[in-house]
Structure 1
């Protein structure tokens, strides 16, 4: 089996926000993002997820800026069909591939909130957004396969004789991640993606939900948080301190947002958190921050050994990749790569040896 791929989520700035605090960008800390990206590169992070939303800077110009300050770490660009035409989006991605030496992959998200979609002049309902994404991805693939000219008269896009001179660097296309928990999202991942990306659950829950996608040969990625310390007691003490004096007004705002959204991923993540026993779905899986920070806040908590072993349970359940964050995320990234990452690699090597011995 291939090693787990570990990515991290790029924060709004230097990555010092607590779990129970509001995390909305009201200024752009470019120097902080550059420093974070450079540290991620030094630690060995595979890719940095660049999120999209009204509460964030636009990721496209940021990617160009950060690529110029790094040499190895890749960037996983989240973007929504409907914001740019397929021709222009292909052109932008191709251009960035030359600036960043191919260090760009795509996380295609259909949108989670009709209210937020309306901010951008988009009023399509949930399933139609995925139908549009399907048409969008079909056209992107045609551009990346070198087809020219391209004409189409679809339900959402009309192109006449579209051409692009600049290809994706080296030919081919970027890796494509498709996000979402709905059946239509899974179908899109199977048809157009390399990896289906979803919010966390228990290993057993992930195995059940991802069975059909895994059967298609697509990879499975999970977006979560992690909190690892030398001992379990230290990790639990960190949670207690982190959740002291939480921003309850922010929690209520998140609750209202969830009630208005139409995302299956978001609603399922909150239902899952509500089912937890005193905020714990298992001895290692903590849901207490979901009410403040949404679906990605489901968190693997424990000692370095406990966290490494639990992540291996996800791998055995079919997970290929993780996109992590922490609180504060920069410190947690350092903690993870110093202490947990080597343990994961050791466990993988141990299982590989055991498998080889069993096969002889």
Structure 2
């Protein structure tokens, strides 16, 4: 199991849909989040991409010096990047980071945003282009270890004599992550990627997607790993967790929800359509309306595109829901919470101790020797709490 956190390059706040309690997306703040994730033992961080975000490659490069082990899941965008340039960027970052790069292949789903970036392909054509892009990208990086050139003639992309002189540290190339809920997305995942990511749908729906991609990959003699993208709202008691969920959307008005949903509705992303279907918006705000599966809450998706669901509950409940997804074959968990700095600590402190010992060992980080917690009465060291995890 690999637990990831999130770098909020599109902004961060205590309340969704408002500037109240908002935080500036400064380099200093992003460094704090990345350093916390690195120190706490998260596997890596996802850096989002799109018009509403700071550029992920620039941000990832800026965060390298303040981290030691943290991996960076960084986007490549067919149509915005050329595969040869993306391969050089990936190899350079992977070498300079000591092998800490992961690649997020993003096809895009907002036609208006895509046209603003000069991409005029429809949904089908974008997936065709993405398949060609990642095929070329992978081959250039793989051949860089032997120095062989690569030729490719495709419908959307072609290269002649493509060559990379500085290979990546990871062989044959940094792992490729990808999420797509359409049939074209599943086909691309089965053929090309290393890890398929789904947004946080109920377990039964996630199981269907895993089974389909796994079957498609097996038919091509491949194996694909799986992961899920979720928000988390964990507190010491279930009542406190649901109160925090209510507070997160307490400043959102109906006009803001309607404007956000209008943008999401225009997208041709099947994943976004599935996210929107999880909450019949219509002004609904209560837990009964938005808890779509035990401890799975769709409130975030009222105003946030992409990942719109959160696991809500006490530590034992959240750990149990994570285990339920793991039992379906998912081993990559890309998590986030508002605000991202505090919630990185809260999740690690409350949930990491409940994970199996073999997983907790991976979260341990070398540090200074000394007592944990504040010394009591100037002389008594607080005892280390026992855990029931095995």
Deviation at 1:22, TM superposition (A): 6.8
Residue 119 of structure 2 corresponds to residue 122 of structure 1: yes
Closer/same/farther in 2, CA of residues 227 and 156 from structure 1, 3 Å limit: same
Residue 129 of structure 2 corresponds to residue 132 of structure 1: yes
Residue 340 of structure 2 corresponds to residue 317 of structure 1: no
Q: For the residues of structure 1 that align with 2:187 and 2:18, how far apart are their CA atoms? A: 35
Deviation at 1:104, TM superposition (A): 0.5
Closer/same/farther in 2, CA of residues 27 and 227 from structure 1, 3 Å limit: closer
Structure 1, gaps ≥5 residues long: 350-360
Match of 1:213 in 2: 213
Q: For the residues of structure 1 that align with 2:275 and 2:311, how far apart are their CA atoms? A: 15
Match of 2:107 in 1: 110
Match of 1:296 in 2: 307
CA contact (8 A) 1:20 1:289 kept: no
Which stretch shows the higher mean deviation, 334-343 or 169-178? 169-178
Match of 1:335 in 2: 346
Match of 1:180 in 2: 180
Deviation at 1:253, TM superposition (A): 2.1
Residue 44 of structure 2 corresponds to residue 47 of structure 1: yes
CA contact (8 A) 1:14 1:32 kept: no
TM-score by length of 1: 0.90
Deviation at 1:346, TM superposition (A): 5.1
Match of 1:94 in 2: 91
Question: How large is the RMSD of aligned CA atoms in angstroms?
Answer: 2.3
CA contact (8 A) 1:14 1:33 kept: no
Q: For the residues of structure 1 that align with 2:89 and 2:203, how far apart are their CA atoms? A: 37
Residue 262 of structure 2 corresponds to residue 256 of structure 1: yes
CA contact (8 A) 2:260 2:302 kept: yes
Deviation at 1:93, TM superposition (A): 0.7
CA contact (8 A) 1:86 1:139 kept: yes
Closer/same/farther in 2, CA of residues 131 and 22 from structure 1, 3 Å limit: farther
Q: SS of the counterpart of 1:289?
A: helix
Residue 63 of structure 2 corresponds to residue 66 of structure 1: yes
Match of 1:271 in 2: 277
CA contact (8 A) 1:14 1:330 kept: no
Q: SS of the counterpart of 1:210?
A: helix
What is the CA deviation profile of residues 202-223 of structure 1, one whole-angstrom value per residue up to 9, with x for unaligned ones? 1121112210223433111111
Q: For the residues of structure 2 that align with 1:53 and 1:13, how far apart are their CA atoms? A: 9
Closer/same/farther in 2, CA of residues 28 and 331 from structure 1, 3 Å limit: closer
Q: 1:282 aligns with which of 293, 310, 318?
A: 293
Q: SS of the counterpart of 1:320?
A: strand
Deviation at 1:164, TM superposition (A): 1.7
Closer/same/farther in 2, CA of residues 288 and 80 from structure 1, 3 Å limit: same
For these two proteins, the number of residue pairs brought into alignment is 345
Compare CA radii of gyration and give the structure with the larger one. 2
Q: For the residues of structure 1 that align with 2:319 and 2:91, how far apart are their CA atoms? A: 37
Match of 2:168 in 1: 168
Residue 157 of structure 2 corresponds to residue 157 of structure 1: yes
Q: For the residues of structure 2 that align with 1:229 and 1:118, how far apart are their CA atoms? A: 42
Closer/same/farther in 2, CA of residues 170 and 343 from structure 1, 3 Å limit: closer
Deviation at 1:44, TM superposition (A): 0.6
Q: For the residues of structure 1 that align with 2:24 and 2:76, how far apart are their CA atoms? A: 21
Q: For the residues of structure 1 that align with 2:255 and 2:24, how far apart are their CA atoms? A: 22
CA contact (8 A) 1:273 1:279 kept: yes
What is the CA deviation profile of residues 3-37 of structure 1, one whole-angstrom value per residue up to 9, with x for unaligned ones? x21111111288444234379x9975111111111
Q: SS of the counterpart of 1:48?
A: strand
Residue 240 of structure 2 corresponds to residue 234 of structure 1: yes
Structure 2, gaps ≥5 residues long: 282-286, 361-390
Which stretch shows the higher mean deviation, 340-349 or 169-178? 340-349
Q: For the residues of structure 1 that align with 2:327 and 2:171, how far apart are their CA atoms? A: 34
What is the CA deviation profile of residues 101-160 of structure 1, one whole-angstrom value per residue up to 9, with x for unaligned ones? 110101101001111100110000011111001111111121122163222221111222
